[in-house]
Structure 1
Amino acid sequence: MSIFDLRLETERLILRPPGRQDFEAFAAFCADPVAMQHLGGVQPKPVAWRSLAGLVGSWQLLGYSMFSVIEKDSGAWIGRVGPWQPYGWPGTEVGWSIVSSHWGRGYAPEAARAAIDWAFDALGWEEVIHTIAPDNSNSQHVARKLGARVLRNARLPPPHEVDVEVWGQSRQAWLAAR
């Protein structure tokens, strides 16, 4: 089985590795200033293409990366959620970003729970973190729903180079709460 055949399912969502078929929705997401406020800002289509290629490439290089999040009812691409640890990253992250038109529906924590379970089970991670801007109250709310707490502060590597709060929890804490 190829990593590109991997599927995680929740009650309302399908998580699968991203592919070319996701590009138009991904590019629209990257062009949304609300969704991209804490993700480095709006990306023009050529930069969005490289961002998507980076996610796909991470699957090839590392065997994991963010999943495309697909809404079961509509079949629509609604975001990216999952394991993320590019070179120089401050830890083993499970991140989330959902298209702004779908905020407030509980999709981010639903998808993140499945991705965290997978990261601990399939990848053997001992800690999952979430790098969150200090003024990103929406992501802080999601992190709290996941049982995460602020562990430390960090600075993201280039090209981001911003200070973040590192939220998260150990495998042991996650399993105890599940």
Structure 2
Amino acid sequence: MNRLTLDIPVVETERLVLRGARESDFEAYLAFDASERSRWVGGPNDRWTSWRKFLSTLGHWALHGYGLWTVELKASGAVAGRVGFNNHDGWLEPEIGWSIFDGFEGLGIAREAAEAALAYGARHFGIDGPISYIHPDNTRSAALAERLGARREREVEFFDAPCVVWRHPRRAEAAA
């Protein structure tokens, strides 16, 4: 058997561990991806489509050296969501995105995870000042983008739907 080994960094915050996806995470991913809450990220989806999306998360790390982390709570080991960077075929630049799973929203997890990802991405991946694609009706993600310091840059069509591009501030400039 030939196994692909991925060197996905682990990033820790006070409450969270950002780590690579494990097969045992799939049921938590599926529960989110099959729910109405996933409408902002291409869902809801059936099990087969969710599995392919789950695998593409790992493939992104293999092709680009960065991708989405699984967000795990340190205290319980519960899978609370995903956060990280995407740069799919045809995109002009990397995007930072986040999805917090049912039962974990409203606890500051998305902000804590996104701040850690942004800092790590700037320092280790050279992704400084990425964008976020956010549907105009996704007010919670837009509010988080603003709290992270992002500003509305432009409106675009994204996967045949309206979308707002949010630009996150460069961290290297902020540190200078």
Corresponding residue pairs, total = 172
Contact 1:80-1:97 at 8 Å conserved across structures: yes
Once the two structures are superposed, the pairs formed by residues 45-60 of structure 1 within 5 Å of their partners are 45-60=47-62
CA drift of 1:164 comes to 0.8
Q: For residue 147 of structure 1, what is the amino acid of its counterpart?
A: G
**Structure 1 Cα separation of the partners of residues 147 and 115 of structure 2:** 10
CA drift of 1:40 comes to 1.7
Contact 1:16-1:68 at 8 Å conserved across structures: yes
The equivalent of 1:31 in structure 2 is 34
CA drift of 1:2 comes to 5.0
CA drift of 1:19 comes to 2.3
Unaligned residue ranges in structure 1 (runs of 5+): none
CA drift of 1:175 comes to 4.6
Alignment partner of 1:13 out of 1, 12, 16: 16
Q: For residue 165 of structure 2, what is the amino acid of its counterpart?
A: V
**Structure 2 Cα separation of the partners of residues 10 and 62 of structure 1:** 24
**Structure 1 Cα separation of the partners of residues 93 and 6 of structure 2:** 26
Alignment partner of 1:81 out of 80, 83, 97: 83
Once the two structures are superposed, the pairs formed by residues 49-128 of structure 1 within 5 Å of their partners are 49-128=51-130
**Structure 2 Cα separation of the partners of residues 111 and 95 of structure 1:** 10
CA drift of 1:37 comes to 2.3
Contact 2:118-2:128 at 8 Å conserved across structures: no
Contact 1:92-1:127 at 8 Å conserved across structures: no
Contact 1:81-1:111 at 8 Å conserved across structures: yes
SS at match of 2:106: coil
Q: For residue 167 of structure 1, what is the amino acid of its counterpart?
A: W
The equivalent of 2:152 in structure 1 is 150
SS at match of 1:104: coil
The equivalent of 1:168 in structure 2 is 167
SS at match of 1:60: helix
SS at match of 1:105: coil
**Structure 2 Cα separation of the partners of residues 2 and 58 of structure 1:** 10
Over 4 Å off, 4+ runs:
none
Unaligned residue ranges in structure 2 (runs of 5+): none
CA drift of 1:38 comes to 1.2
Contact 1:14-1:71 at 8 Å conserved across structures: yes
Q: For residue 67 of structure 2, what is the amino acid of its counterpart?
A: S
Q: Please, what TM-score do these two structures have when normalized by structure 1?
A: 0.89
Q: For residue 19 of structure 2, what is the amino acid of its counterpart?
A: R
Contact 2:16-2:113 at 8 Å conserved across structures: yes
Over residues 12-53 of structure 1, what are the superposed CA-to-partner deviations in whole Å (9 max), with x where a residue is unaligned?
Answer: 1100111212111111111121x2121122111111100000
